[in-house]
Structure 1
Amino acid sequence: MWRRISSAEYGRVTEIITGLYMSPLEILALLGAVALVVARWLPPAARPRVTIAAAAVFVPSVILLSVAGIRWQLMPVLAGAAVALPFALSPLLRRPASRPAWRARWWLALPGSVACVGLIATGPVAAWAFPVPVFPEPSGDFAVGTRVVQWTDPLRPETFTADPDDRRTVVIQLWYPAQKGPTDAQRAQYLGRTEHEARTVSDALARGVGLPGFLVDGAPRAHTHSVFDAPVAGGGERFPVVLFSPGSGGVRTQNTAWAEELASHGYVVAALDHPYDSAAVVLADGRTISTEIASTGDPDKDDELAVDWTAVRAADLSFVLTQLDHLDRGEIADPLTGRLDTGRVAVTGHSMGGAAALQAARQDRRFDAVIDLDGYPHGPTSPSLHQPTLALTQAITPGTDPRYIPRLTEALKLSTATSYRLTIPGAAHLTFMDGPLYLPPVPSIVGSLGRTESPRVVAAATLAFLDAVLQDRPGDLAGVLPAYGNLSVYHPDNSR
């Protein structure tokens, strides 16, 4: 029986068949363009048929793509076809019998054909390097729902503004176990609630790293596996909670693949946007708050600033946990009321968010576990951590900050609970977020694990730790975690 496939399935089919991260229409346009160039070199009897067939494929494909929106990656394909088209069609035009059809001599046509093929080939290379991300299918038993909430802390002034009446506001995206819905349900937009928000965030992220926004325009085109406002999974069970803080200039959605995988296994993930720190935060009233933090170039000054920013993030995390507790008790109306187990909570983060998670755990004993995704521990190392902690780190190279591992090791050794540092071979700093799904697969940028393996390894190691420390599932972490990297174990007595 035939059924309509979802956008995520559609993208995955395209990836598996072609490996080029191009849609079927884009592939048809590509094949039509190549055929227009090749037709010039076919035997005379075959040229007209091939040219007409190529044009019949190419022109409608381009028209349909124009309606849907042509990606910049296809522009070289269109340029190559546009150059080849007049030369391919001119021999087919009717002329007086006394005038033979004009064809350029082969030694003139060959450089032009090579140039056209080179242009056309640039298209799939660009689509492969900067794709529309295809999110991995969550492997758990639950479908995944998502929703966005916004909360203001009446007790904390906004330190990034001069308005004395301005109070700290955070935007939170929740991913949660949901009931299985129809296979053709509309999947959530990546990077935002709407396409406009997604493009606002994508452009801000690109500016933050000095890239023109169009290079990563695949990200706001993507859809994930979660469904906005999907009904919460039945059964009445209560789900452990995982709070997440993104990296400096990062956004709440930057670890969507990771969050969806956790939610499919029975966790509620609450990821924060930190206004004036995150690249762009779109508030409920439509205002967009852009980042105001920036490096000064002075290492000592930057370290001082990072400590302050980390402290703000840590306070945000504790505030959100308080709000989630109110929500679970029904003091905030929400479909998740009564379904959150706020007695089993992990605090996590990537990069500076990992530092914030460590600080939040030191200050707030309601957090039962900590996961630091390649985050340098800014701020004081006291009081000691009392929660089991997992630190996932990238492969250590000569270019790694020499203070990083000693500082992280000090924090883990001082813990009163058993802690773990797992170094993942082939990982880079951006391996621990969604970056490998839509950035060029350059090892120095996203690591060498690949687009499929990067999210799988990070999520699997995370789940192994959370299942052990929050769900009391039997298993020897010291025996399980080495499957994903090089493990160091720090016991409360500081012995390994």
Structure 2
Amino acid sequence: MGLIVNSLPKYSGPYLVATADLELAVATPRSFGHALLKSTKRPALQLDTVLVTLFYPADSTQRGSGKRQHWLQRPLGQTAEGYARFLGQKPWLVKALFWLVGAGMRLPVQADRPLASRKAEDEVTNEGRSTASSHDTVVDGALAGEKDRFPLVVFSHGLSGTRTTYSQWCGEIASKGYIVAAIEHRDGSGPVSVVRSGDGKERIVDYIRPEHLEWPSGHSPQSAMQFRSSQLSMRLAEISSVLTLMQRLNDGDGAAVAKENRRKEYGEGKSLEGWKGRIDMEKEVTMAGHSFGGATTIQVLRAGATQYPFKRGIALDPWADPIPPAPSPSSPSFSPLSASVSTNTTGSNPAPTTSPSNGNGGKVPLDINVPLLVINSEAFTLWRQHYSLVRDIVKAVGGGAERWLMTLVGSIHISFSDLPLLLPSYLNPRAGSRVPARLATSRVVEACGEFLSGQGTSGEILGQRVKEGDEDGARDGEGGKDAEGKKRVMQGEVGSMRMHIAGRA
């Protein structure tokens, strides 16, 4: 261990964590856009089922299925072939690598344990166990009831991601007392995903490139960025389906959900019967995501409370190109309430003439009126044009909501995923990262924990002030290369957060 691949660390919060892998049919199967796959002549973006892994606080006094979920989807050979196509590598080489390092890689928790009871703060010991009975937890002097609900966080992965690619972030947040629903998108943004039909058949969804697509007669081909807009529409519809699934569990339909589930490799879902009334579906629902999932988060928040119940959002190193840009606050035509989209198609962020669909037939406005936390990698902040797009989105948050934009000094784009934790430490600097993997994860989780708990400006990280020059991202002398051709990096202690925007709109 350590020479080829590391095992995933155990989660550090006060709650034991368990997982549940669920795939259920959506109420109304449908396709998005007009693009067809050349190989099958079928719709490229087809939604039939929704696939999610739940990370949740578990009852430490009861057993689950006794199984631990694999980090890489099974069958392993099929997953390896998908990654080979995505990476443009020879399948035999990727298969050999996966069998060598991935066959035994599992999440560090047991699946299908019963849901825990909420713990009062003074009942949690240093070992992360409650001194009260798991069945009669007292919170603020009242028996577990409404206050025994766990807040819900929905997580959206980025390009080349899956529902387990960010398992460390999801598990850490769950260990702090949240139910995290990590979606696996079937929009062709992941290396490979398997859709299971009710008749036992399977449909493989590979990563979709422009050359894989064609359009039927009468429909003009989309640009790559226009296709991303269609993918965003499908992602929002998948999020709606996940929310429907979570509502069913909260309504006491857990036994039926377990019966309908098409993923039972890690447990039969018997524990789901105990989820009735245990999920906060109203007051503390959070949308989160990384990269393209960060763009998804921003679009969901723009759709507003009329479509989604999200009260706040977390965007980790959001990829801004697919996001219709917010008007600049310095522009004479800027209006915080404007829902229009720029028609400028120059530069690296060509914007569609209308907003992407929210997945329910409506158009997504551009304003966000709920708290938003954005954490950039150093690499994305040094990308000045991209940083400006993200900064304008954060500055456009209105309604008096709190918003933060910060950079994790020394990090790269993949620092938010599990991959740096799995790689031997000597490989991460070669990938461009200056921050140790575990430090990066802990700092990101710490900032997100402050945000989720509502600490705001009283938090150690969120309470930082914006230093002169930092609202513009990189300072003079940061980024690019010096006279000797050496890359210039961001100033500040490696692993620290540099604040760019903080406080209320």
Q: Same fold (TM over 0.5)?
A: yes
Q: For 2:184, give the aligned amino acid.
A: D
Task: Provide the residue aligned with 1:373 in structure 2.
Answer: 316
2:113 corresponds to which of 208, 230, 237: 230
1:383 corresponds to which of 348, 366, 370: 366
Higher share in helix: 1
Q: Is the 8 A contact 1:247 1:353 kept in 2?
A: yes
Q: Is the 8 A contact 1:468 1:477 kept in 2?
A: no
Deviation at 1:207, TM superposition (A): 3.7
Distance 2:299 2:29 in 1: 18
Taking a change above 3 Å as real, the CA distance of residues 481 and 309 of structure 1, as seen in their structure-2 partners, is farther
Deviation at 1:328, TM superposition (A): 0.7
Distance 2:19 2:108 in 1: 10
Distance 1:165 1:314 in 2: 13
Q: Is the 8 A contact 1:242 1:268 kept in 2?
A: yes
Secondary structure of 2:168's match?
A: helix
Compute the RMSD of aligned alpha carbons: 3.3
| Residue 392 (structure 2) pairs with residue 410 (structure 1) | yes
Deviation at 1:391, TM superposition (A): 0.9
| Residue 439 (structure 2) pairs with residue 453 (structure 1) | yes
Task: Provide the residue aligned with 2:295 in structure 1.
Answer: 355
| Partner deviation per Cα, 1:398-451 (whole Å, 9 max, x = no partner) | 9x6443111111111110122111201111111010110234623363622223
| Residue 224 (structure 2) pairs with residue 240 (structure 1) | no
Q: For 2:88, give the aligned amino acid.
A: G
Task: Provide the residue aligned with 1:340 in structure 2.
Answer: 279
Task: Provide the residue aligned with 1:154 in structure 2.
Answer: 27
| Residue 193 (structure 2) pairs with residue 268 (structure 1) | no
Secondary structure of 1:403's match?
A: helix
Taking a change above 3 Å as real, the CA distance of residues 359 and 233 of structure 1, as seen in their structure-2 partners, is same
| Partner deviation per Cα, 1:325-344 (whole Å, 9 max, x = no partner) | 23211245333232111121
| Partner deviation per Cα, 1:15-51 (whole Å, 9 max, x = no partner) | xxxxx52xxxxxxxxxxxxxxxxxxxxxxxxxxxxxx
Task: Provide the residue aligned with 1:485 in structure 2.
Answer: 497
Q: What does 1:406-485 correspond to in 2, within 5 Å?
A: 406-416=388-398, 417-439=401-423, 441-443=427-429, 445=431, 447-468=433-454, 475=459, 478-479=462-463, 484-485=496-497
| Partner deviation per Cα, 1:136-179 (whole Å, 9 max, x = no partner) | 22111111110111233333513376479975322011010001
Taking a change above 3 Å as real, the CA distance of residues 306 and 423 of structure 1, as seen in their structure-2 partners, is same
Secondary structure of 2:235's match?
A: helix
Deviation at 1:200, TM superposition (A): 3.4
Q: Is the 8 A contact 1:247 1:352 kept in 2?
A: yes
Distance 2:16 2:81 in 1: 30
Q: For 1:150, give the aligned amino acid.
A: E
Deviation at 1:264, TM superposition (A): 0.9
Distance 2:234 2:180 in 1: 20
Distance 1:293 1:267 in 2: 33
Distance 1:164 1:135 in 2: 34
Q: Is the 8 A contact 2:187 2:234 kept in 1?
A: no
Taking a change above 3 Å as real, the CA distance of residues 177 and 286 of structure 1, as seen in their structure-2 partners, is farther
2:86 corresponds to which of 196, 202, 208: 208
Q: Is the 8 A contact 1:413 1:492 kept in 2?
A: no
Count of residues in Structure 1 that have an aligned counterpart in Structure 2: 359
Deviation at 1:192, TM superposition (A): 5.0
TM-score by length of 1: 0.65
Larger RCO (alpha carbons 8 Å, 6+ apart): 2
| Residue 58 (structure 2) pairs with residue 178 (structure 1) | yes
Secondary structure of 1:452's match?
A: helix
Distance 2:417 2:254 in 1: 30
| Residue 376 (structure 2) pairs with residue 393 (structure 1) | yes
Identify unmatched segments of 5+ residues in structure 1.
1-19, 22-127
Q: Is the 8 A contact 2:376 2:407 kept in 1?
A: yes
Q: For 1:390, give the aligned amino acid.
A: L
Q: Is the 8 A contact 1:189 1:220 kept in 2?
A: no
Secondary structure of 2:281's match?
A: strand
Task: Provide the residue aligned with 1:24 in structure 2.
Answer: none
Q: For 2:387, give the aligned amino acid.
A: I
Distance 2:29 2:384 in 1: 36
Q: What does 1:94-243 correspond to in 2, within 5 Å?
A: 128=3, 130-131=4-5, 133-159=6-32, 162=42, 167-180=47-60, 186=66, 188-191=68-71, 196-198=74-76, 200-211=78-89, 212-213=93-94, 214-217=96-99, 218-234=101-117, 235=137, 236=144, 237-243=148-154
Distance 2:187 2:402 in 1: 35
| Partner deviation per Cα, 1:289-313 (whole Å, 9 max, x = no partner) | 222422569xx93222222212221
Q: Is the 8 A contact 1:143 1:178 kept in 2?
A: yes
Distance 1:346 1:208 in 2: 30
Q: Is the 8 A contact 1:174 1:269 kept in 2?
A: yes
